[in-house]
Amino acid sequence: MNFLAHIYLSGENELITIGNFFADGIRGKKYKQYPSEIQVGIKLHREIDTFTDAHPFFRQSTKRLHKAYSHYSGVIVDIFYDHYLAKNWNDYSNIPLEEYIQNFYKTLNENFEILPERFKKLTPFMIEDNWLLSYATIEGIQKVLNGMNRRTNGLSKMNEATKELVANYEDFENDFKNFFKELIVASEIKRKALVKDHKL
């Protein structure tokens, strides 16, 4: 999953949310250098990714893209799914999306010093361009995919994937909805178990 989904699935603990947000920047057991709540967030992120990659509906989505985008298909579907989460936000939260995102940006700024260097560089751009809110539109997704394609020096062709998004819009959305309701349950169970393990 991409940023918005990981943030949402973290629950209400701010440090768990921060850890889940930057977990991709932490390799192996380096998470142990962080406070317990951050560790829970990092571990939760990894559990979410494992659940996602193996899920039949997620794999069904990636299959639609595999011929054109090969091993980048999973990354693209992660981004597509953040679009559907943002678009259908009111089905998942009582807090308006704009308010939720601004609260998260505030939390990021308040915990800026604990972020890994890569995320310290990324965060100001995320906030200034309001990446999380931009996921709600296809135009916003196009900008994200353009950026991802640049990071692969144009090899991934991810910038072209919005064509598949538009052409298969309802199919991807159905996959997302069926998948995400199961992910919410699974991630909540795992988060509670991790919190208990860390005696929080």
What burial class does residue 84 get, using C-beta atoms within 10 Å of its C-beta: 0-12 exposed, 13-18 middle, 19+ buried? buried
pLDDT at 199 over 90: no
Radius of gyration of the chain (CA): 16
In terms of average pLDDT, the best of 13-17, 28-32, 196-200 is 13-17
pLDDT at residue number 15: 97
The domain limits of the chain are 3-197
Q: In the predicted model, is pLDDT for residue 1 greater than 90?
A: no
Q: What is the pLDDT of residues 55-103, one digit of tens each?
A: 999 999 999 999 999 999 999 999 999 999 999 999 999 999 999 999 9
Average pLDDT, integer, range 105-125? 95
CB contact at 8 A, 76 and 65: yes
pLDDT band, very low/low/confident/very high, at 109 (cuts 50, 70, 90): very high
Distance, in Å, from the CA atom of 196 to the CA atom of 130, rounded to the nearest integer, reads 34
- For residue range 135-177, what is the model confidence (pLDDT) as tens digits? 999 999 999 999 999 999 999 999 999 999 999 999 999 999 9
pTM score? 0.95
